[in-house]
Amino acid sequence: MNWKDKVVIVTGASSGIGKAYAEAFAAAGAAVVMAARNAEAMEEIRRNLEQKGTRTLVVKADVSLEEDCRILIEKTLEVFGRIDILVNNAGISMRSLLEETDLSVIRRLMDVNFWGMVYCTKYALPHLLASRGSVVSISSIAGYKGLPARSGYSASKFAMQGFMESLRIENLKRGLHVLIVCPGFTASNIRNVALKGDGSAQGETPRDEARMMQPEEVAACTLRAIVRRKNTLILTGQGKMTVLLNKFFPKFMDKMVYNTMAKEPDSPFK
């Protein structure tokens, strides 16, 4: 693939996997449009990329707002005139038992993780069809197996995957590439800012981030999957095993997932 001809939009680009995506696409030679709420962080990334010769655009956007997503697509077209790849990466998580969770928390997760993806995809779709491009949504193993104390997160990812599969089949003969990426546990700040039952940020991750897959690995694997126009990308051995075993032994996996989550520091199951 000649990446120098491509224009890529990455949502949630200010940190973590989104930042790694922006840097990976830039290193490949693509023009990169970064969208997130934290404009200051994106500006620092933009400066670093432009020093290396990358064409960039920063758009401050909250993907839970439909108008922000529409403006993101419009500004991209104004500057670059086309869209080749949309990476729906923006997302938040949660950690709380349902009985202790305010419903506004679950609404917030659906607004960002699901509706943000829907809004961006809807407005970008005509242009992705014109370029026979790729729409990539970052899901999770939680989109295959419901995770306890993360009911809203799993719900948003299950919904995302159903939407993406429907989109793929609708456009099966129109040249649109639809890729679902499920990274498994990846080192990022998503657990630090995960919402508690009352809607406040968790603040500290309950997991050892250093032992997880790094964002740069996720980005590199995703670029290869885009070139190969794969349908699904499931990462980490644990993630692949969870998806496989859950097909044949769902009750056994219920117990395994429960036991794994119960071992987390300050687990709500203790």
Q: Taking the CB of residue 251, how many other CB atoms lie within 10 A of it? A: 8
Count of positions (residues) in the chain: 270
Instruction: Please tell me the predicted confidence (pLDDT) of residue 189.
Output: 62
Alpha-carbon span 258 to 22, nearest angstrom: 35
DSSP secondary structure, 148-170, as one string:
TT-HHHHHHHHHHHHHHHHHHHH
Domains in the chain (CATH in brackets) are 3-242 (3.40.50.720)
pLDDT per position in the chain (270 positions), as tens?
A: 899 999 999 999 999 999 999 999 999 999 999 999 999 999 999 999 999 999 999 999 999 999 999 999 999 999 999 999 999 999 999 999 999 999 999 999 999 999 999 999 999 999 999 999 999 999 999 999 999 999 999 999 999 999 999 999 999 999 999 999 999 777 766 656 889 999 998 766 555 556 678 999 999 999 999 999 999 999 998 999 999 999 999 999 999 999 998 888 888 876
Instruction: Please tell me the predicted confidence (pLDDT) of residue 186.
Output: 75
Alpha-carbon span 88 to 197, nearest angstrom: 25
Alpha-carbon span 104 to 147, nearest angstrom: 19
Catalytic residue numbers read 153
Euclidean distance between the first and the last CA atom of the chain, given in angstroms as a whole number: 50
Instruction: Please tell me the predicted confidence (pLDDT) of residue 220.
Output: 97
Instruction: Please tell me the predicted confidence (pLDDT) of residue 259.
Output: 93
Instruction: Please tell me the predicted confidence (pLDDT) of residue 210.
Output: 63
Here the tokens at position 211 are 């032992």
